[in-house]
Structures are given as structure tokens and as C-alpha cells.
């Protein structure tokens, strides 16, 4: 009888870790099934991300006359400034084939581009099939910052219980940011920080060591009280 009891106890000692392991495995299986690991975007810049896309800037110059009007010259100057700001590699000037006036307008366009700082090797002249009255086509490629369209009001804002941003939240702000950015490529590769002013840094360190105030001096015009603004 004692031998039988001792053997039973030994068997229980061996089976106990295995039973605990099975229980732990079952518990983990139940917990993993209950966890929701799907990430839902919460911030406006996640719901309306700004992306960089490549597009074409175009301008048509009429060929009614061989001379350019003041309005047409200003449009070409603005076009040239945009090309220089975006560092466009090539500016395409396409003229209608066989049109004498079109050839003259294309030549004047190229002269005006060069006056505005566009080097001649960046101007690429080509022709296309068109009539004598077809315009001179100007274009260059650049990058634009874009985001998805606004106006998603599919949700009923009077019956929201999840305490999350609605789908159209922050879309206008993202559009404004995409339109105002000077260089869309900054969204892809941020610019490196400029070096700090060593002389200014040394002055601040000296004031800090001697216990002086390190803040910049304020102009006397900025020290205005609310009572002074209101008057007597």
C-alpha cells in the first residue's frame, strides 16, 4: 500500500508541471483572442497624410501677334520665377510646326526666360502639329505637396460615442500646409540644421556662469500696459 501511494505521488509530481503548462497555454490562447491589435488612426495628419507627387506646370502663349503683350510678358516672368524656385532641370518650349508667328513668339519667350535667369541649356525647344494660330506651349516638371480631398461628412456628429475625431477633422489645415510649403521635398527629406552661432553661444555661456540674465533685451516700444492702450 505504501509503495502504491508513493508511486501515485511521484506520478502527480510529474504530471503537475505539464498540467500547469497546459493551463497557461489555454489562458494565453484566450487572452490573445481577446486583444484587438488593429491600430486605428487618431491624429489628423494620419487621417489626411501629406504626400509628395510629381506634376507639370503649364503655360500657353497666344500667337495672334509676333509681339508679346505686357500681360503675356508678366505671365512668362512669373513662370520663369517658379521654374527657378523649384530648380526645374528642363523648361520645354513647344511651338506649332510651320507657323512663322509661332516661331517668332517662341524666340521671344526664350529671350525673356534668359533675362529672368534661366540658362539657355535648360530651355528645350520642340515643335508639335498645329495650325498657324496654335499657341506656344511652355511647361516644366515639379513636385507638389498633396493630400486627400476634404468633405467627408458621412458620420452623424450628433451621435458619436467613441470620443474620436470625425473623418473630416483637420483636413483643411493639412491642405493649407501643403499649399504653403516652400519646398515639398522637405516632407520627404527634412533639411539639415544650420550651424549655431559660436559667438552668440559664448556670450550666453559667460552670462550664465556669472549669474546674469541670458534672455534677449526687449525693445522699449514693446513694454506697453493695458491701461496705456485703453487711455483715460
Could you tell me the residue ranges of all domains in the chain? 53-143
Query: 13: which 3 cell numbers?
Result: 509530481
- Cα 178 off chain centre by: 5
Q: Look at residue 5 in the predicted model and tell me its pLDDT.
A: 46
For the domain spanning 53-143, the CATH number is: 3.30.1330.60
Q: Look at residue 91 in the predicted model and tell me its pLDDT.
A: 95
Cα separation, 6 vs 21, whole angstroms: 24
Q: Look at residue 225 in the predicted model and tell me its pLDDT.
A: 56
Sign of CA dihedral 187, 189, 195, 201: positive
Q: Look at residue 63 in the predicted model and tell me its pLDDT.
A: 93
Q: Over the stretch 149-194, which tens digit does the pLDDT of each residue have?
A: 898 888 888 877 777 788 888 999 999 999 888 888 888 887 788 8
Percent of the chain with pLDDT over 70: 76
Q: Over the stretch 58-71, which tens digit does the pLDDT of each residue have?
A: 999 999 999 999 99
Question: What is the residue-level pLDDT of the chain in tens, covering all 232 positions?
Answer: 554 445 455 555 554 555 555 555 555 545 455 555 666 667 888 888 999 989 999 999 999 999 999 999 999 999 999 999 888 899 999 999 988 999 999 999 999 999 999 999 999 999 999 888 899 999 999 989 999 889 888 888 887 777 778 888 899 999 999 988 888 888 888 778 888 888 888 888 888 999 888 887 776 555 555 455 455 5
Place of cell 555661456: 205
**pTM (whole model) above 0.75:** no
Sign of CA dihedral 157, 161, 163, 164: negative
Q: Look at residue 224 in the predicted model and tell me its pLDDT.
A: 54
CB-based contacts of 222, cutoff 8 Å, min separation 6: none
Amino acid at each position: 500500500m505504501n509503495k502504491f501511494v508513493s508511486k501515485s505521488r511521484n506520478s502527480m509530481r510529474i504530471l503537475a508541471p505539464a498540467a500547469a503548462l497546459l493551463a497557461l497555454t489555454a489562458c494565453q490562447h484566450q487572452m490573445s483572442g481577446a486583444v484587438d491589435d488593429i491600430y486605428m488612426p487618431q491624429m489628423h495628419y494620419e487621417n489626411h497624410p501629406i504626400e509628395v507627387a510629381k506634376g507639370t506646370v503649364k503655360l500657353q502663349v497666344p500667337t495672334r501677334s509676333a509681339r508679346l503683350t505686357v500681360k503675356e510678358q508678366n505671365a512668362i516672368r512669373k513662370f520663369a520665377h517658379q521654374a527657378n524656385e523649384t530648380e526645374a532641370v528642363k523648361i520645354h518650349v513647344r511651338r506649332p510646326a510651320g507657323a512663322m508667328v509661332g516661331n517668332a513668339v517662341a524666340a521671344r519667350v526664350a529671350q525673356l526666360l534668359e533675362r529672368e535667369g534661366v540658362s539657355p541649356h535648360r530651355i528645350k525647344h520642340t515643335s508639335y502639329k498645329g495650325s498657324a494660330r496654335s499657341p506656344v506651349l511652355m511647361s516644366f516638371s515639379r513636385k507638389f505637396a498633396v493630400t486627400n480631398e476634404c468633405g467627408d461628412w458621412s458620420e452623424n456628429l450628433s451621435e458619436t460615442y467613441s470620443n474620436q475625431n470625425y473623418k473630416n477633422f483637420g483636413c483643411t489645415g493639412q491642405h493649407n500646409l501643403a499649399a504653403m510649403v516652400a519646398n515639398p521635398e522637405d516632407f520627404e527629406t527634412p533639411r539639415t540644421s544650420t550651424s549655431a552661432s559660436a559667438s552668440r553661444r559664448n556670450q550666453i555661456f559667460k552670462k550664465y556662469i556669472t549669474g546674469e540674465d541670458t534672455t534677449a533685451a526687449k525693445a522699449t516700444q514693446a513694454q506697453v500696459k493695458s491701461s496705456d492702450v485703453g487711455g483715460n
